Amino acid sequence: MSEPASPEKQPPSPAAQALQAAIRLHRRGQLRQADSGYEQVLRMEPNNPDALHLRGLVAAQTGNPKAAIELVNAAVLRNPASPPYHNTLGLALGAVGDFAGAQAAFAEALDLDPRYADAHVNAGNLMRRQDNPDGALAHYREAVAAHPKHAPALCLLGNLLTERGEAESGLPHLEEAAKLRPADADVQASLGAALVALGRPSAQETLEKALSLRADHVGALRNLALFHREAGQLDQAVARYRQAAAFAPKDATLKSDLGQTLVAAGRLDEAMTVLREALAIDSRSAGTHLGLCRLYRVKGDFGAAIAHAEAALAIDPGFIQALLGLADLDASRLTERHWREVERLADDPRLSADDRSRLHFGLFNRDQAGDSRARAFAHLQQANDLKRAHLVRKGRTFDASSMAGTIDYLIETYDAAYLSQATASGSANDRPIFIVGMPRSGTTLCEQILASHSRVFGAGELRDIPNICLQALARAKDAVPSAPTPEAAFRQSPPFIRDAAEVYLTKLDRLSRDARHVTDKLPDNFLRLGFIATLFPKARIVHCRRDPMDNGLSCYETAFGDATPWAWDLTSIGQYYRQYQRLMAHWRAVLPNPIFEFVYEDVVNEPEAWTRRLIEFCGLDWEESCLAFHETERPVNTASWNQVRRPIYKDSIGRWRRYEAQLAPLRDALGA
């Protein structure tokens, strides 16, 4: 028995053919031609719901949401069971500000198809516009659960988690999105932002890839600037912020970030210009007022700094940095309402651990001025525990054995024989004065005294030596690959030694052409004194020392940046201090440079005698202004910005005894 004949397949109607042709144009981004195609279909079939919907989608995509609403509503009337119709309607309603209508349209689309990823994404975006990040997060998660390879949903989910301080959770989603869309600049920029938040070195490469795909990507430039800023590469950060600002000249936040980076770099005149430009764009920018607060604080104009901190809080009463900035400047300016806000925010689990840490530092500073030492120290411990947790999430932890290994390496490498040979190629220039020691050991006081002399320029904490060191050693190792270590290669490369010294001296010339000496008071340059001696065997070194218990407590009390992973735990502080002592003992034994021991307690107890010795050590004639250092008007951009504006005082000596019981871990780690 033969098979029955199959019915002949009917060719598509002219309207169907025209619709498919228009859809192909639409997919290629030829919106005007696609719209003409849909119009042609509607002339043939005026009630064709797909043509109505797609013409409405084109209207929405070309900035005509009202026409889109009319067209898509007509499509919905003819086919109310189509999820994409309701999704497009939601987009158009959201564009005209009808959030309730848009939400209802997305809900209808999802009732019809709960796994409709695009509708979840659009509903999530709508909730973000309505300041409902929790609702947005739920929709993005639903979209990814329904379609794990939906790149936009993955990217949005990763972005939102990063913004909420959960970059570690967001990173896998962004990595998957980047695999799916390797040539998408937005995706690469989002991945780079998460890597910056986590402190990953690969952030730079990822963000530069985004810029290779789209050179004007403001988000990638902004995050690359942030990456450089957090790495202490302030000149590179400024350059990237300026690039971004050139593409977005009306972005007040971007100019504010640029201005604050210029403040950190000590480029105060440029910072003032940029921050005023930002304020002209948006007079109600709390971030810009904070930038001006920090600028005036560095300049020593505390009245203006307070005024801008208060202006920032008038705009945003919950602005954490402004609250703490005002508390640092004059805690009496904070009302009970302000302090209640600080306490509320400090206990808010939705805030990042870093922000909560800063708030607890503020509460410690408030309470230590009162009678409740136990409550004050509890806030201090919470502040440090939160900061340590923040750094652990970023992969930045302190390893005492690794630190000991580093010190072993420096001692073995920079021995007397090495320095005897290497320093022969160094510069005879003795212009730089290097002030080193533990943070909070009196380095800022020492520099302020020296900078009060007419022939000394105080440059502050320069990052040039660490950067020059890394670059010079890498260059030498490339040139002499047979050398066992980079330092050995550097010792064998006199031209590289002279070049590195010249790079640094050029920087000093840019800072001051007239001063006989320029001070560089980066405390942790104590780790690089062997390299410094190689470049400048005649440069003077001032080593600042302080009672270890007071020094350790002062570090524990200070809200440093992310570059000090040892500073958030009392035991770690003691371990770090002991390694620092061990290395300094080695430098005293082998360095050719003259070293002055600036002992904080001695200077405080006999200020004139020790100040005279310091000035004499630097080969300078005595000037009375060095005793009146607190009257010297110069920028001070360190944690001691307030103390050096006051005459010498003794309150800080023996402060550790206030918290003697709580500081037992520090005392035990310090040992003898």
Q: What is the pLDDT of residues 538-566, one digit of tens each?
A: 999 999 999 999 999 999 999 888 889 99
Give the integer Cα–Cα distance in Å for 367 and 385: 18
The three-state (H, E, C) secondary structure of 214-270, written as one string: CCCCHHHHHHHHHHHHHCCCHHHHHHHHHHHHHHCCCCHHHHHHHHHHHHHCCCHHH
Give the integer Cα–Cα distance in Å for 257 and 213: 24
Structural domain for 561, as ranges: 421-670
Is 302 contained in some domain? no
Give the integer Cα–Cα distance in Å for 61 and 64: 7
pLDDT at 12 over 90: no
In this structure, is the dihedral angle defined by the CA atoms of residues 374, 376, 377 and 382, taken in order, positive or negative? positive
Count of residues making up the chain: 672
pLDDT value of residue 639: 52
pLDDT value of residue 39: 93
Q: Grade residue 643 by pLDDT with cuts at 50, 70 and 90.
A: low
- According to DSSP H, which parts of 96-148 are helical? 99-112, 117-129, 133-146
- According to DSSP H, which parts of 132-201 are helical? 133-146, 151-163, 167-180, 185-197
Closest CA to 628 of 643, 602, 648: 648
Give the integer Cα–Cα distance in Å for 354 and 140: 26
β-strands 595-599, 517-520: how paired?
unpaired
- Average the pLDDT over 489-510 and give the result: 95
Is 471 contained in some domain? yes
Which tops the pLDDT comparison, 297 or 382?
Answer: 382
Closest CA to 580 of 414, 400, 438: 438
**Average pLDDT, rounded, for the chain:** 91
Separation in Å, CA 216 to CA 189, 219, 624, 662: 12, 9, 54, 53
The three-state (H, E, C) secondary structure of 516-544, written as one string: CEEEECCHHHHHHHHHHHHHCCCCEEEEE
pLDDT at 440 over 60: yes
pLDDT value of residue 2: 38
Give the integer Cα–Cα distance in Å for 573 and 569: 6
Closest CA to 540 of 449, 435, 629: 435
| Tokens coding 69 | 């609403």
Host H or E run for residue 181: none
pLDDT value of residue 429: 96
Terminus-to-terminus CA distance in the chain, angstroms? 106
pLDDT at 672 over 80: no
Closest CA to 644 of 446, 459, 455: 446
Cβ–Cβ under 8 Å, residues 469 and 583: no
Is 608 contained in some domain? yes
Q: Which residues 6+ apart lie within 8 Å of 279 measured at CB?
A: 252, 285, 288, 289, 292
DSSP 457: E
- Average the pLDDT over 358-374 and give the result: 84
Q: How many domains does the chain contain in total?
A: 2
Cβ–Cβ under 8 Å, residues 504 and 419: no
Give the integer Cα–Cα distance in Å for 434 and 58: 66
pLDDT value of residue 3: 41
The 10s digit of each residue's pLDDT in 587-605 is 999 999 999 999 999 999 9
pLDDT value of residue 562: 83
pLDDT value of residue 264: 86
Give the integer Cα–Cα distance in Å for 270 and 377: 40
Q: Is 649 helix (H, G, I), strand (E, B) or coil?
A: coil
Closest CA to 583 of 425, 403, 447: 403
pLDDT at 462 over 60: yes
617 φ, ψ (degrees, to nearest 5): -55, -35
Host H or E run for residue 591: none
Angle subtended at Cα 76 by Cα 74 and Cα 80, rounded to the nearest 5 degrees = 150
Q: Grade residue 648 by pLDDT with cuts at 50, 70 and 90.
A: low
Is 215 contained in some domain? no
Which tops the pLDDT comparison, 670 or 233?
Answer: 670
Which tops the pLDDT comparison, 133 or 350?
Answer: 133
Q: Biggest alpha carbon distance in the chain?
A: 122
Q: Grade residue 521 by pLDDT with cuts at 50, 70 and 90.
A: very high
Unique residue bearing structure tokens 């218990």: 549
Give the integer Cα–Cα distance in Å for 265 and 631: 23
Angle subtended at Cα 271 by Cα 267 and Cα 276, rounded to the nearest 5 degrees = 160
Is 59 contained in some domain? yes
pLDDT value of residue 632: 61
pLDDT value of residue 5: 43
User: How would you classify residue 529: left for phi > 0, otherwise alpha for psi between -120 and 50, otherwise beta?
Assistant: alpha
Is 94 contained in some domain? yes
Cβ–Cβ under 8 Å, residues 518 and 432: yes
Unique residue bearing structure tokens 């913004």: 163
| Tokens coding 420 | 């005897």
Cβ–Cβ under 8 Å, residues 152 and 144: no
Q: Of the candidates 128, 147, 166, which is a domain's last residue?
A: 147
CATH number at residue 115: 1.25.40.10
pLDDT at 492 over 80: yes
pLDDT at 466 over 60: yes
Unique residue bearing structure tokens 């109505």: 52
Q: Of the candidates 115, 147, 179, which is a domain's last residue?
A: 147
Closest CA to 206 of 236, 177, 248: 177
| Percent over 70 (pLDDT), the chain | 95
pLDDT value of residue 642: 54
Q: Of the candidates 100, 116, 147, which is a domain's last residue?
A: 147
Q: Which amino acid is at 633?
A: E
pLDDT at 70 over 80: yes
- Average the pLDDT over 244-250 and give the result: 95
- Average the pLDDT over 3-15 and give the result: 65
pLDDT value of residue 638: 56
The total of other beta-carbon atoms located within 10 Å of residue 295's CB is 24
User: How would you classify residue 300: left for phi > 0, otherwise alpha for psi between -120 and 50, otherwise beta?
Assistant: left
DSSP 12: P
Where b means 16+ CB within 10 Å and e means fewer, 236-263 reads bbbebbbbbbeebeebbebbbbbbbbbb
pLDDT at 371 over 70: no
- CA 254 to the chain's CA centroid: 14
CATH number at residue 453: 3.40.50.300
Q: Is 661 helix (H, G, I), strand (E, B) or coil?
A: coil
β-strands 456-458, 595-599: how paired?
unpaired
Give the integer Cα–Cα distance in Å for 320 and 361: 12
The 10s digit of each residue's pLDDT in 129-165 is 999 999 999 999 999 999 999 999 999 999 999 998 8
The 10s digit of each residue's pLDDT in 179-231 is 999 999 999 999 999 999 888 889 999 999 999 999 999 999 999 999 999 88
Is 310 contained in some domain? no
Q: Grade residue 331 by pLDDT with cuts at 50, 70 and 90.
A: confident
Is 600 contained in some domain? yes
Q: Is 595 helix (H, G, I), strand (E, B) or coil?
A: strand
- Average the pLDDT over 460-474 and give the result: 92
| Tokens coding 469 | 């060191």
The 10s digit of each residue's pLDDT in 232-246 is 888 899 999 999 999
- Average the pLDDT over 613-620 and give the result: 96
Angle subtended at Cα 61 by Cα 150 and Cα 37, rounded to the nearest 5 degrees = 105
pLDDT at 519 over 90: yes
